[in-house]
Structure 1
Amino acid sequence: MIGAVILGAGESRRMGTQKLLLEIKGRPMLEWVIDSFKKVVDEIVVVLGHRPELLIPLLRRLDVKWTVNVNYLDGMVTSVKEGLKMLKDFDAVFVALGDQPLVEVDFLKKAIEVWKNGAKVVCPVVKGKKGHPVLFDRSLFDEILGLGKDQFLRDVIHRHKEDLRTLESGEWAITDIDTPEGLEAFKWKF
């Protein structure tokens, strides 16, 4: 079984409001992300942190599981670990960003195929720059769950670079939306 941990714990400080609820073509940003993953994974867990009550009604409507990371201020890896705990019996798990609304379903399907062929980590890449979502094999879950406060997912990826496969993807893989200006620019491209 394949799962997805979607990170949505941040404060959206640069946006000035809960950015995952901002609408793009009439739907909240987070809904776009969830819809892409619903087409290819068996289970989704959205990790909440700052003001979770704002996002819970949307997640209930979409029938998606969530967990709250009370330590979200300690960094993104704490949210990854919180979500992964709920999916630790899965065979592989995507780690995705909640503010990346253009995740391509074709990429997700290709990543799963590459993983089935032996990769332990599958990552999108654009002009040499790695992006999200990243697919991790179950054999790496304990290592991820054991990461300390000053460690990052990229540390796990670097330690297993011989088992890393990258897939060329579109700009969407390195695009997240952090500011009102960024949202407006994005809407013109969408």
Structure 2
Amino acid sequence: MVAAVILAAGLSRRLGQPKLLLPLEGRSLIRRTTEQVIAAGESQWKEVVVVLGHEADRIRQELEGLAVRTAFSPRFAAGMSASLIAGLQAVSPRAEGAMIFLGDQPLVSAEVVRPMLTAFRKRGRPIIVPVYDGARGNPVLFSRSLFSELMTVEGDRGGRDVVMRDSGRVETVAFASDLAPQDVDTWEDYEIVQASVRRTRR
């Protein structure tokens, strides 16, 4: 089974305030993202790990009652790679791999997650990447065999360098563009996500 790792440690520099605490139809953005991830994998997750950093205590409170574990990234200000490393270090040794999610993408879909988990089980490659109408995106699934390599990554690039290093290790799964999860980096992004969530509630 695979672990889900949600990176929720960032500084929200572009937005100017803790974006993961923004309200989204009655819940915070990070709680909605986490609930979506849990539901998308259902019983297929070994565990769900949320990596905290900036505003860790407040975000931890938002996750109360959810079936998750938290890990703290002491170097969260160094960029996404530090949070990725903290998340991988926290993953159960019994997990076969980890699917990496971004905490500011609350619209992640089971229609993406489940085919990726199936591809990982059936096709045997150590990296599974979603492709939305020709463009690579998130989440990305990494086999445990690549954890040590991922832990050497630096800066704000996450696992992108590892994905690009050897195309022979990568299996892509194609999806329609409307299934691509939307980042919340700006107020415009936030408004787009709010509108999308409202539409799904109708």
TM norm structure 1? 0.90
SS at match of 1:100: coil
Q: Among residues 94, 99, 102, which one is paired with 1:97 in the alignment?
A: 102
Correspondence 1:143-182 to 2 at 5 A: 143-149=149-155, 152-169=158-175, 170-173=177-180, 175-182=182-189
SS at match of 2:163: helix
Work out whether residues 88 and 141 of structure 1, in 8 Å CA contact, stay in contact via their aligned partners in 2: no
Work out whether residues 112 and 179 of structure 2, in 8 Å CA contact, stay in contact via their aligned partners in 1: no
Work out whether residues 21 and 55 of structure 1, in 8 Å CA contact, stay in contact via their aligned partners in 2: yes
Unaligned runs of 5+ in 1: none
Q: Among residues 103, 113, 138, which one is paired with 1:108 in the alignment?
A: 113
Residue 71 of structure 1: how far off its partner (Å) = 0.7
In the alignment, what sits opposite 2:200? none
Work out whether residues 79 and 157 of structure 2, in 8 Å CA contact, stay in contact via their aligned partners in 1: no
Aligned residues: 190
Q: Which moved more, 1:123-132 or 1:108-117?
A: 123-132
Q: Which digits, 9 at most, give the CA deviation of each residue in 1:111-170, with x for residues without a partner?
A: 011011212111111232211110011111111123345875122112231121112233
Q: Among residues 73, 82, 94, which one is paired with 2:86 in the alignment?
A: 82
**Structure 2 Cα separation of the partners of residues 177 and 73 of structure 1:** 18
**Structure 1 Cα separation of the partners of residues 144 and 111 of structure 2:** 22
Work out whether residues 150 and 159 of structure 2, in 8 Å CA contact, stay in contact via their aligned partners in 1: yes
Work out whether residues 6 and 50 of structure 2, in 8 Å CA contact, stay in contact via their aligned partners in 1: yes
| Aligned-partner residue type, residue 116 of structure 1 | R
Unaligned runs of 5+ in 2: 198-202
| Aligned-partner residue type, residue 156 of structure 1 | V
Q: Which digits, 9 at most, give the CA deviation of each residue in 1:52-98, with x for residues without a partner?
A: 11101112332421111111121111100100001152101011100
**CA RMSD after TM alignment:** 1.9
Work out whether residues 100 and 172 of structure 1, in 8 Å CA contact, stay in contact via their aligned partners in 2: no
**Structure 1 Cα separation of the partners of residues 118 and 150 of structure 2:** 22
In the alignment, what sits opposite 2:12? 12
Q: 1:80 to 1:150 in 2, by over 3 A?
A: closer
State whether structure 2 residue 36 is matched by structure 1 residue 30.
no
Residue 101 of structure 1: how far off its partner (Å) = 0.7
| Aligned-partner residue type, residue 188 of structure 2 | E
Q: Which runs of 4+ in 1 moved over 3 A?
A: 148-152
SS at match of 2:63: helix
TM norm structure 2? 0.85
